[in-house]
Structure 1
Amino acid sequence: MAKRLHDLIFDLDGTLVDSCGICVDILSQMLAERGSDHRIDALSARPYMSHGGQRMVSALLGPACGDPAAELADFRARYAQRPTDPASLFAGVVENLTLLADAGHRLAICSNKPQNLCDKVLADTGLGALFPVVVGGGPKLRAKPHPDLLDETLRQLGSDPADCIFIGDSELDHQVAQARGIPFLFLTYGYADPSYQPDPASSHDHFTGMAGALLELTRGRRARRA
């Protein structure tokens, strides 16, 4: 029996969608409402995007931050009410995800972002139909780099790690992929820590180039079957 194509597991923020802008907008609104003169911008906020929700909110609210857990809850409630602009998708995401799905790959999301916000972002940007499996953060699943979210993604896919490829934008994604022995492809434009040193052979500066490499792999496998 012919081996099926790899299942492709994607991180969401920093990999498919640039969420920095909407995060800055929401936090700036929170600052304005409390009369704070503390200011943030997308450039200074970007390094905090992969630090986890509570650390990000605390750091960016700065001296105006109250109880971190309450601030995060407020932030997420506002996020759930704000549409995600499809223009925040990184270049090449829509067309190349479609090509990968049409080629026969199953696509999944594995993200630290809360489940309800993952679902909302995918619906707002028109990507939802491309992903039969979407696993986001929840009370019973520890955040990356713990493997809980990836294990749940594999469970819902009914897939073995050897049959998957993980695509992400940070050292956390790489660590969780390594924990389960899944090949990792790194997108350089996301939210990785500046100290992270990825393997150049598995790194891509553009989503289109990464997808093209996967499609070449797909064509090569089909040619070998023939």
Structure 2
Amino acid sequence: MTSHPSAGRAAVPASPAPVHVVFDLDGTLVDSEPNYYEAGRRLLARYGVRDFGWEEHTRFIGIGTRETLTALRAEYGIDAPVDELLAGKNALYLELAGASTDVFPQMRAFVERLHAAGVPMAVASGSSRAAIGAVLTVTGLDAYIPLYVSAEEVPRGKPEPDVFLETARRMGAEPADCVVLEDAPPGAAAAHAAGMRCIAVPYVPKTASDPAFEAADLLFTGGQSAFTAEAAYTWLIG
């Protein structure tokens, strides 16, 4: 049964520890979507696309950068190779992220609490490995989460389970012992496909009713405004 807590109210999970926690990065741990949007907008402008807005960007939240650029290349009829677009966007994003990236306060509190309790953690993201490393470093989260896996290191990105399964392998954990935190339906679907439990914290409020989120084990329908470290931790430890 999916739980739908409001801030400060917790539910009990179906199965106990051992537990390993796997975080999505963008939109889950950190509010990087504004930087990704701006990097994408600037990149597309180089190729003559002037009308790429936030609403267009939200269609691709939770989808890997390569998959996003492949779709946008076809949609806007851009001749440049995907690898060229990928390099351009990564460079723009790294510049923006290095200047300013915000961690969601309750997510930082959750990470610190898990670390204090000795719970193993990792990041599994559709971003490039360089981007993940830069964000973890600039935010100080690398002190708590040294292990991270990029979708560029596996054959398929989310909603396929590859990046989560590879992360579990590197953690030395069984998928059933992993709990994923995700903000986007493709990521929640990937967690389900990997055989992992999922805490869903929708970044885009209107996606809270998406079937992938409805299948999550713990759903904060209000997104980050409803998420609390206390509620998530209490659910996690049962």
TM-score, scaled relative to structure 1: 0.78
1:188 to 202, 207, 210: 202
1:74 matches 2:92: no
Inter-partner Cα distance in structure 2 for 1:179 and 1:157: 18
Amino-acid identity (%): 26
For residue 233 of structure 2, the aligned residue among 212, 215, 218 is 215
RMSD value, Cα: 3.1
1:119-198 matches, within 5 Å, as 119-190=133-204, 196-197=210-211, 198=213
Query: What are structure 1's unaligned runs of at least 5 residues?
Result: 221-226
Please tell me whether residue 20 in structure 1 is matched to residue 38 in structure 2.
Answer: no
Q: Is the 1:15–1:190 contact (alpha carbons within 8 Å) kept by the matching residues of 2?
A: no
Note closer, same or farther for the CA distance 1:218–1:103 as it changes in structure 2 (3 Å cut).
Answer: farther
SS at match of 1:209: coil
Is the 1:18–1:89 contact (alpha carbons within 8 Å) kept by the matching residues of 2?
yes
Q: Is the 8 A contact 2:62 2:185 kept in 1?
A: no
From the CA coordinates, give the structure whose radius of gyration is larger: 1
Task: Confirm or deny that 1:117 pairs with 2:131.
Answer: yes
The structure showing larger relative contact order (alpha-carbon pairs under 8 Å, at least 6 residues apart) is 2
Separation in structure 2 between the aligned mates of residue 56 and residue 18 of structure 1, nearest angstrom? 18
Which aligned segments of 4 or more residues in structure 1 are displaced greater than 4 angstroms?
31-34, 58-64, 190-195
TM-score with structure 2 setting the length: 0.75
Q: Does 1:42 align with 2:60?
A: no
Verify the 8 A CA contact 2:182 2:188 in the aligned structure 1. Answer: yes
Shift in CA distance, 6/219, structure 1 to aligned 2, threshold 3 Å: closer
Q: Are residue 93 (structure 1) and residue 111 (structure 2) matched?
A: no
Alpha-carbon distance in 1 for matches of 2:155, 2:130: 14
Q: SS of 1:29's equivalent?
A: helix
CA distance in 2, matches of 1:182, 1:63: 36
Aligned to 2:118: 104
Query: 2: distance between equivalents of 1:142 and 1:218?
Result: 28
Measured at CA, do residues 38 and 147 of structure 1 come closer, stay the same or move farther in structure 2, by a change above 3 Å? same
CA contact (8 A) 1:114 1:136 kept: yes
Distance between the aligned counterparts of 1:175 and 1:37, measured in 2?
Answer: 31
**In structure 1, how many angstroms separate the alpha carbons of the residues matched to 2:131 and 2:235?**
32
